[in-house]
Amino acid sequence: MRSATIARKTRETEINISLELDGSGTYDIETGIGFLNHMLESFAKHAAIDLKVRAKGDIHIDFHHTTEDTAIAIGLGIAKALGDRAGIRRFGHALIPMDEALTRCAIDVSARPYLIWKVNFTRPKLGEMDTELFKEWFHALAQNAGLTLHVENLYGENNHHIVESCYKACAQALRDAVAIDPRNAGKIPSVKGSLGS
């Protein structure tokens, strides 16, 4: 069972998550931010990760800390569940349409975190959530899960469709990348014999 539980508490947030990489996409998400809940539900479903999130944060100030810290906790959980990353496919990619929007994502579960984010929004908010926070979420995920993560929206007009296609593309790419490769049984997927260096 590739699973993890993470509890993270600061003066700004208290985040508790549990996840199962080899799940079926069930989710139970409560962050206090409606739009973030929606994105995390979509992420869990399409990554086929069972995910439970309980987040309490200083959303009376703004949504930044809760958004970022939720991604930190999920990233830490993914890294913990992966362990030494032996036997995984390592790479994944997806090209995901959502109505008029099309986004591609490529992932290397390399333990070398990096984010390329080529996504633009024409509105400052979706619901009550600042659209600039989506980059912060993906950056925190990449840093803490140890992902080289490239996300690029190729085109789109509706900001909701654009960001949701980003979460779905990331989820699908991650699902493929963390899958166990029967041809690589228990081996580290690197000619160096280790990941992250």
User: Is residue 37 situated within a structural domain?
Assistant: yes
User: Is residue 189 situated within a structural domain?
Assistant: no
Residues of the chain with pLDDT under 50: none
User: Is residue 99 situated within a structural domain?
Assistant: yes
User: Is residue 59 situated within a structural domain?
Assistant: yes
User: Is residue 193 situated within a structural domain?
Assistant: no
Whether the model pTM is above 0.85 = yes
Q: Give me the domain span that covers residue 154.
A: 3-184
Q: What pLDDT was estimated at residue 133?
A: 98
User: Is residue 112 situated within a structural domain?
Assistant: yes
Looking up residue 176, the CATH number of its domain turns out to be: 3.30.230.40
Integer Cα distance of 166 and 104 in angstroms: 7
DSSP letter (8 states) at residue 183: G
Sign of CA dihedral 171, 141, 25, 190: positive
Residue whose tokens read 């362990």: 83
Q: What pLDDT was estimated at residue 10?
A: 96
Helices (H) and strands (E) in the chain, counts: 4, 10
User: Is residue 194 situated within a structural domain?
Assistant: no
State the burial class of residue 194 (Cβ atoms within 10 Å of its Cβ: 0-12, 13-18, 19+): exposed
User: Is residue 86 situated within a structural domain?
Assistant: yes
Give the CB-side neighbour count of residue 32, counting CA atoms within 13 A. 19
Query: Are 111 and 145 spatial neighbours (Cβ–Cβ below 8 Å)?
Result: no
Domain count, the chain: 1
Query: Are 192 and 112 spatial neighbours (Cβ–Cβ below 8 Å)?
Result: no
